[in-house]
Amino acid sequence: MKWEQYKTNAVEAVLQGNYPIAERFWGLALKSADDSEAPLAISICLDGLGDLCLMQDKFAEAEGYYRDSLNKKTETLGEEHPEIAMGLNNLAGALCAEGKFSEAELMLKKALAILFRVFGATHPETRWTIKSLMSVYRELKKPFDLSEAAAWIQPSMEGGKEKDAAKQPVVCATCHRWHIAPQCPFCTQIRLKALALSTGEWKPLAETQ
């Protein structure tokens, strides 16, 4: 699919530190994904644009992209999928960069509740989210006690969803993230050869290796 090719070029432009070119390719990828009506592909592109804005200290723009991505993922995957937790973590990062720690706290609590239910307390994603939440609590000058989190973790484990928790997560061979969907919703499964576009002197890494 063409959006995957644009995505590959965008990632490689980021690695080269060429942010304007990366933004161009992410924009092309987003349009292509939108035209093909692929909701998860759209969310991947929005995340990429959010990451790019975060790298350039454009925190408000990053927040907007992450919110749009999270909404798209929620429409597609529901509210309890681990990919939603990762989206909440992304959004919380942008909010923290803007100094919106109270709102970031809410996002991280939601993320942690999902990760506890799906992966348990010892999973790397869960532990990373706990550390992020602890950092936010320090900024808010609030004490943090994980044992007191049961009050807001427990509701997400109710409602007859125990069978979902029994699904075995797998690791994506491309991005090395855990997921329980048939395919990794965070990135593409196949790295396609970069599409050669007329972009001045810049060339995709795939063409220079």
Provide the CATH number for the domain around residue 172: 1.25.40.10
Tell me whether residue 197 is in a domain: no
Distance CA 85, CA 136 (A): 17
Domain count, the chain: 1
DSSP string, 97-129: HTT-HHHHHHHHHHHHHHHHHHT-TTSHHHHHH
Q: Which domain holds residue 74?
A: 2-187
Summarised one tens digit per residue, pLDDT across range 56-91 is: 999 999 999 999 999 999 998 888 888 899 999 999
Tell me whether residue 199 is in a domain: no
Tell me whether residue 202 is in a domain: no
Q: What is the mean pLDDT of residues 27-46?
A: 89
Lowest-pLDDT choice from 61-65, 102-106, 118-122:
118-122
What Cα–Cα distance (Å) separates residue 90 from each residue in 70, 143, 206? 9, 23, 28
Tell me whether residue 196 is in a domain: no
Q: Could you tell me the two tokens for 174? A: 């491309």
Tell me whether residue 182 is in a domain: yes
Please list the residues that pair with 171 across neighbouring strands: 178
Tell me whether residue 52 is in a domain: yes
Q: What is the pLDDT of residue 180?
A: 55
CA-wise closest residue to 62 among 17, 102, 100, 111? 100
